[in-house]
Structure 1
């Protein structure tokens, strides 16, 4: 019986370690070779006091609306609340499953874009720096 408990704990620990390791791997790979899209900030979800919050955004992939999220600090709540409904550049992995499982999104809050500005179906390979976007 003790051996079974040990094996179960070992299996659970292995799964958690693998998830953390793979998440770190995919986040680094995503920042090396991201796809850039327009994301419209939609809501902030409170996680807990003295914790981080979730900042949600919507973006399109081949004309299909998707939702992503990034952590923000509790202290940044008011800053991002003022920006809800506005659009910004978001870097992400090319693989949507990787984005959903490992949250490989990176929000570029310094790159606002008009709300009606469309991103190409497959996103951009580089941040679209254009005076018309700012």
Structure 2
């Protein structure tokens, strides 16, 4: 039940943005074994004055940098997360052609009782 928020600079085509969403979904299916059609993602585009990615940690990021935040059940292992990071960088590199240096990922663990996916009930608690 991952929930994804992607932040990026404005100006990319719809096809580019859809390739990001598709690549992230495929990466989660491969690394986290999420069920088919478990896709809850949003992209927020920002004007250059409202979007900044530094070069901290020895990574030379470009204007194509993505900030990807993924909230998952707290049951994911470190190995699954590492596989997810690799899958994301590889898939977004293949399509739409984003450099690995421009893929910034943050995974947040949330207990299952913190989720309601509809009907006002805690389906996983």
User: TM-score, normalised to structure 1's length?
Assistant: 0.27
Higher relative contact order (CA 8 A, sep 6+): 2
Q: TM-score, normalised by structure 2?
A: 0.28
Higher strand proportion, which one?
A: 1
Q: Give the greater-gyration-radius structure (CA).
A: 1
